[in-house]
Copies of this chain bind each other. A is one copy, B any other.
């Protein structure tokens, strides 16, 4: 919808690499259209392409994202969305999965392409076009490797972000919008919960992301009416009160909210 500018940034390449860009003769033939002729690839510099991955999870009853601290110019000491170059034989999604694996060690999580940010000048070093993905991680699996001792990688509440490098603030806002919209008409929320969960926990997901309180009875009525939940029969006992039923998401009932 709206055009945003680019983002990611992480660093990128240097001038040197630009000069070194190899030219494949096969590309010679490349033309995507008549116009392509005008832009013979051999005489053009190529932008760098990176994939950034916004990893989101519910932690401490808050919507948090993983950021890394930059250690050098530009935006030294500011926080940034993790990302890296796309390998020449790697799909964009594969690059995103690689990032995810490197940062969190998790696999098989929800991953969606968000938007491509490519304004010239978003990175002062060189032209970088970034394809941004976002991932939804359930906090339970994440716990496993929660304790990173790295001081330059950390989780932040989307509601209390530090100063961000490049146009990463804008990217996060864009992602939050996407997430909020999809929450309303898809079953995306379940990706933030472990396999079994209570209705209260599900409601928290919605409340935290939409950033507003929801009515308990209306919420449950709506969710139950869709038949996307399966009662596991188990209950979650915690605290000094009535235990809550544990449910499981039933993807078979691919019902749209």
Footprint of B on A, CB under 8 Å?
1, 3-24, 26-27, 29-36, 38-39, 41-42, 44-50, 52, 68, 70-73, 80, 82-93, 99, 101-103, 105, 111-113, 115-116, 118-120, 123, 125-131, 145, 148-150, 152-153, 182
Contact = CB atoms under 8 A, between A and B. Distances in A.
Nearest to A89: B120
A46 B44 contact: no
12 contacts: A8-B148, A11-B16, A15-B83, A20-B42, A26-B126, A32-B84, A36-B50, A39-B85, A46-B46, A46-B48, A47-B86, A92-B116
Contacts of A41: 12-14, 17, 48, 85, 126
A27 B126 contact: yes
A7 B153 contact: yes
Number of copies: 2
Contacts of A38: 84
Main SS class of interface, A: loop
A83 B86 CA distance: 22
Contacts of A3: 92-93, 111-113, 145, 148
B88 A29 contact: no
A162 to B, nearest CB: 15
Contacts of A82: 11-12, 15, 32-33, 35
A26 B83 contact: no
Nearest to A186: B1
A116 B131 contact: yes
Given A13-B152, A84-B15, A27 B72 contact: yes
B152 A44 contact: no
Contacts of A30: 48, 71-72, 123, 125-126, 128
B48 A13 contact: no
B13 A22 contact: yes
B80 A20 contact: no
Nearest to A26: B125
Given A11-B102, A16-B23, 8 more contacts: A1-B112, A11-B153, A13-B22, A16-B83, A27-B48, A30-B126, A86-B118, A113-B115
